[in-house]
């Protein structure tokens, strides 16, 4: 049977009703003047975007938010399953809530997100932490009000996962974390099944949001002053494939770029197998798209790329990179890379190093391979000991540091447009970021946060620049 895809436009009105009921329940259940929620999100921006929807729903039910769990009536960990380290932190943090729950038994503790879509993990958590009252997976986000209501009123714990309906649910209330930097999901799920990766198992099949909905969300963000908007998807280049009118990512981003305003537009993540010259041309000709391409290569060795099921080789990857360098002067390139994939030898690893030297990335997200239960790579032979992989990892960091510091040094004396993102401690030092995603520190007053400024670069560190606002 063919898989069905579609969009459900209206957040089911019964879910809105549950939010009203929760509002009433919390009037008598709250510890302080207002019901307080503590929501902690791990993992990628997709999870952050989900967290913003959870906060939107809770906000509608009268909740306010604090960044510590101590006073909270509702505590939620929105989890990530991508590497073991992320999972360990969740186990540790939930374990640490035992005393708080003993002191305030009416505090509801909940778990959601990608870890909860893995049956063995969700069940282990459910069993290890009897004081967790609500567990739900990524596919149950649109049912959160109902689940929360049941957990608050019933005598049993509530547990819902694995109900992927392949649908895109629109109209869920939203409360963004930032006021000038924001995320805009354009699609959900992933069909690529890279052999190391858990994401397709916990996020379901790839499905796109309708173009008109995305455009109006972008317009609304720009109108309300967002300066840095990132379009999100696990593989943005395959945007639109399940939509009736078959719109491409390049077309979508061109349409958004045409909206008037003073803003930067970014996107992630772009998969090298589907990254087209058309997309690079679009970036080159655009008014608002950052001259920045995040293009994860994962490994520089063709043998390992094949074992990873990445569907491109080193040659094809470099072809796109070189095209981008040619068409977009000063393009800033960033990437993800995995060290120690099963069967990787030091020879393979050296290919990764040579690729990094050849491309000269601005920065890299570097990971040591972490086996994920249920993925093909987890069953592959992995003879290299962890201590050896750590050595390779350190070597890679050293090489990248050298490249990044050279790049930073070459920017001294230039003037860069930056977005002021916040204050750095005391002393009127501001943190800013270039369109190529390089961090810049400059002196200035806090009122400048959230504005674009021009900064003359006066000094370069290994990863960051220092400068003065001109
Ligand atoms: N969809 C994006 C990335 C999503 S996960 C893409 O394809 O590029 C973010 C990064 O985590 C990946 O790019 C990869 O480098 C890393 N990663 C994913 N699974 C991993 C694993 N099992 N071990 C180590 N790193 C992993
Ligand atoms: Fe994971 Fe590959 Fe999908 Fe990225 S493209 S989310 S690495 S399976
Ligand atoms: Fe983690 Fe889920 Fe994102 S596994 S990286 S939070 S899609």
pLDDT digit string (tens) for 68-88?
999 999 999 999 999 999 899
Closest by CA position to 140, among listed 129, 130, 131, 151: 151
Q: Is the CB of 197 under 6 A from ligand 1?
A: yes
Mean pLDDT of 303-315: 98
What local confidence, expressed as pLDDT, does residue 246 receive? 82
Q: Which ligand is nearest to the CA of 310?
A: 2
pLDDT in tens, 111-151: 999 999 999 998 888 889 999 999 999 999 999 999 999 99
Of 43, 54, 234, which is best to mutate to test ligand 3, by the most ligand atoms within 8 angstroms of its C-beta?
Answer: 43
pLDDT in tens, 391-408: 999 999 999 999 999 999
CA of 304 to the centre of ligand 1 (A): 14
Mean pLDDT of 405-432: 93
CA of 138 to the centre of ligand 3 (A): 10
Give the C-alpha separation, 3 to 220, whole Å: 33
Give the C-alpha separation, 84 to 90, whole Å: 10
Angle at 386 between CA 383 and CA 388, to 5 degrees: 85
pLDDT band at 245 (very low <50, low <70, confident <90, very high): confident
> Of all atoms in ligand 2, which is nearest to the CA of residue 235?
5
> Of all atoms in ligand 3, which is nearest to the CA of residue 47?
6
Mean pLDDT of 407-418: 96
Of 338, 340, 352, 361, which is best to mutate to test ligand 1, by the most ligand atoms within 8 angstroms of its C-beta?
Answer: 338
Closest by CA position to 401, among listed 319, 460, 328, 338: 460
pLDDT in tens, 269-287: 999 999 999 999 999 999 9
What local confidence, expressed as pLDDT, does residue 3 receive? 60
How does the average pLDDT of the chain come out, rounded? 95
pLDDT band at 242 (very low <50, low <70, confident <90, very high): confident
Q: Which residue has the tokens 């004081």?
A: 131
Give the C-alpha separation, 350 to 344, whole Å: 10
Closest by CA position to 71, among listed 28, 46, 102, 34: 34
What local confidence, expressed as pLDDT, does residue 452 receive? 98
Mean pLDDT of 3-12: 76
pLDDT band at 12 (very low <50, low <70, confident <90, very high): confident
> Of all atoms in ligand 2, which is nearest to the CA of residue 193?
8
CA of 115 to the centre of ligand 1 (A): 15
Examine the pLDDT at 2 and tell me if it is beyond 60. Answer: no
Q: Is the CB of 114 under 6 A from ligand 2?
A: no
What local confidence, expressed as pLDDT, does residue 1 receive? 39
Sheet holding 292-294, edge to edge: 292-294, 332-339, 363-368
Closest by CA position to 440, among listed 459, 267, 328: 459
What local confidence, expressed as pLDDT, does residue 164 receive? 84
pLDDT band at 432 (very low <50, low <70, confident <90, very high): very high
pLDDT band at 166 (very low <50, low <70, confident <90, very high): confident
Q: What is the CB < 6 Å shell around ligand 3?
A: 43-44, 46-47, 80-82, 114, 198-199, 202-203
Mean pLDDT of 384-389: 97
């Amino acid at each position: 049977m063919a898989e069905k895809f579609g969009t459900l436009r209206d957040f089911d009105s019964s879910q809105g009703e549950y939010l009203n009921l929760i509002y009433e329940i919390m009037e008598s259940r709250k510890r302080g003047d207002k019901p307080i929620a503590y929501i902690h999100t791990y993992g990628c921006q997709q999870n952050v975007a989900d967290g913003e929807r959870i906060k939107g729903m809770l906000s509608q039910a009268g909740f306010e938010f604090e960044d510590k769990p101590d006073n909270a009536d509702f505590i939620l960990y929105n989890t990530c399953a991508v590497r073991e380290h992320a999972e360990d932190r969740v186990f540790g943090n939930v374990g640490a809530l035992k005393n708080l729950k003993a002191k305030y038994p009416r505090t509801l503790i909940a778990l959601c997100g990608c870890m909860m879509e893995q049956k063995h993990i969700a069940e282990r958590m459910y069993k290890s932490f009897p004081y967790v009252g609500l567990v739900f997976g990524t596919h149950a986000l649109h049912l959160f009000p109902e689940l929360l209501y049941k957990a608050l009123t019933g005598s049993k714990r509530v547990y819902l996962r694995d109900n992927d309906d392949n649908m895109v649910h629109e109209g869920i209330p939203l409360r963004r974390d930032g006021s000038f930097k924001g995320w805009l999901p354009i699609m959900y799920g992933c069909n690529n099944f890279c052999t190391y990766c858990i994401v397709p198992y916990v996020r379901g099949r790839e499905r796109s949001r309708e173009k008109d909905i995305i455009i109006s969300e972008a317009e609304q963000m720009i109108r309300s002053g967002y300066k840095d908007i990132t379009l999100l998807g696990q593989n943005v280049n395959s945007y639109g494939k399940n939509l009736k009118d078959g719109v491409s990512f390049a077309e979508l981003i061109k349409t958004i770029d045409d909206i008037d305003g003073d803003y930067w537009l970014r996107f992630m993540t772009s998969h090298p197998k589907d990254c087209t010259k058309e997309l690079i041309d679009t970036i080159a000709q655009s008014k608002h798209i950052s001259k920045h391409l995040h293009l994860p290569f994962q490994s520089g060795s063709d043998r390992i790329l094949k074992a990873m099921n990445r569907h491109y080789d080193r040659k094809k990857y470099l072809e796109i990179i070189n095209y981008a360098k040619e068409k977009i002067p000063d393009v800033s390139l960033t990437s993800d890379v995995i060290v120690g994939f099963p069967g990787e030898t030091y020879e393979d690893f050296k290919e990764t190093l040579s690729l990094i030297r050849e491309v000269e990335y601005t920065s890299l997200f570097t990971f040591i391979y972490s086996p994920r239960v249920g993925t093909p790579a987890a069953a592959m032979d992995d003879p290299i000991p962890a201590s050896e992989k750590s050595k390779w990892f350190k070597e890679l960091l050293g090489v990248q540091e050298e490249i990044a510091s050279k790049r930073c040094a070459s920017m001294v004396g230039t003037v860069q447009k930056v977005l002021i993102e916040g204050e750095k401690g005391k002393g009127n030092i501001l943190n800013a970021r270039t369109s190529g995603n390089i961090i810049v520190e400059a002196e200035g007053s806090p009122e400048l946060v959230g504005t674009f400024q021009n900064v003359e670069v006066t000094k370069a560190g290994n990863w960051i620049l220092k400068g003065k606002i001109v």
